[in-house]
Amino acid sequence: MNKLLLWVSVLSGLLEVFAQTDMSGKVFVFPKESNCAHVTLITQLEKHLQNFTVCLCTYTDLSHAYSLFSYSIQTKSNEIIIFKPKIGEYSFIIGSEKIFFKVYEPFPAPVHICASWESSSGIAEIWVNGKPLVRKGLGQGRSVGAHPMIILGQEQDSYGAGFDKSQSFVGEIGDLYMWDSVLSQEIQPVYQGVYSKPNILNWQALNYKMQGYVVIKPLTWS
Ligand SMILES: *[C@@H]1O[C@H](CO)[C@@H](O)[C@H](O)[C@H]1NC(C)=O
């Protein structure tokens, strides 16, 4: 590569790292089952997490298993996963340990989901449409690793890769936020669309990379 080309690619790489898009009123549409279509959410998270909350909106008519949020680190592909094994059930994985939550739900229907975890108690919470499911616990005392690869649309079996078509997501995802703290009183405002300082991922200043067949469209269902 000549020097100019090299600089252009270094600069565009830098722009990619710092590019932030306000995705308000928009969603990622994953139109088709595949083993490649996905969105990587880029964050500069350099510390381990003792607490976190992730919220997002989703609309899908899939009835088989799929991943909603896949957070892997170099040494562990299943560091955080929010997974939907089937209708009426969610599962939450921290550091490969898994727990299940039952939910009474209409299908298909748009869903707003928040998942949080607190290391000191190990307590995990899932809130669906602003209502808490029965609390469970896992991974008490551990912490979640830094420098994550966060992927929507596919479940990672290795850092940023190892996708399985049969677990791919087909549908729409929007309004994704992540905090390094446990939200509890604040879940209701988030459900109403008021987001207090999301410091890991912010849908209104999102840094992402789309790969494969993924389309950005206006939100039509929330
Ligand atoms: C995590 O939450 C616990 C209890 O809510 C708190 O005591 C602790 O300071 C928090 N840790 C960090 C790193 O924010």
* Segment 38-51, tens digit of pLDDT: 999 999 999 999 99
| Minimum CA distance residue for ligand 1 atom 6 | 120
DSSP secondary structure, 49-72, as one string = BSEEEEEEEEE----S-EEEEEEE
Q: What is the pLDDT of residues 5-29, one digit of tens each?
A: 777 777 666 656 568 999 999 999 9
For the four alpha carbons of 84, 114, 126 and 106, in that order, the dihedral sign comes to: negative
Q: What angle do CA 200, 65, 129 make, to 5 degrees?
A: 55
Q: What is the pLDDT of residues 114-156, one digit of tens each?
A: 999 999 999 999 999 999 999 999 999 999 999 999 999 999 9
Q: What is the pLDDT of residues 57-70, one digit of tens each?
A: 999 999 889 999 99
Q: How much is the pLDDT for 187? A: 92
Q: Which residues are within 8 A (CB) of 7 and not within 5 positions of it... i.e. 6 or more apart?
A: none
> Atom of ligand 1 at shortest distance to CA of 121?
4
DSSP 205: G
Give me the residues paired with residue 144 across strands.
49
pTM of the shown model? 0.92
User: Ligand 1 mean position to 84 CA, how many Å?
Assistant: 28
Residue with the two structure tokens 């500069």:
44
User: Ligand 1 mean position to 124 CA, how many Å?
Assistant: 14
Mutate to test the pocket of ligand 1, among 45, 116, 120, 180 (most ligand atoms within 8 A of CB): 120
User: Ligand 1 mean position to 211 CA, how many Å?
Assistant: 35
Express as a percent the part of the chain with pLDDT over 70. Answer: 95
Q: What is the mean pLDDT of the chain?
A: 93
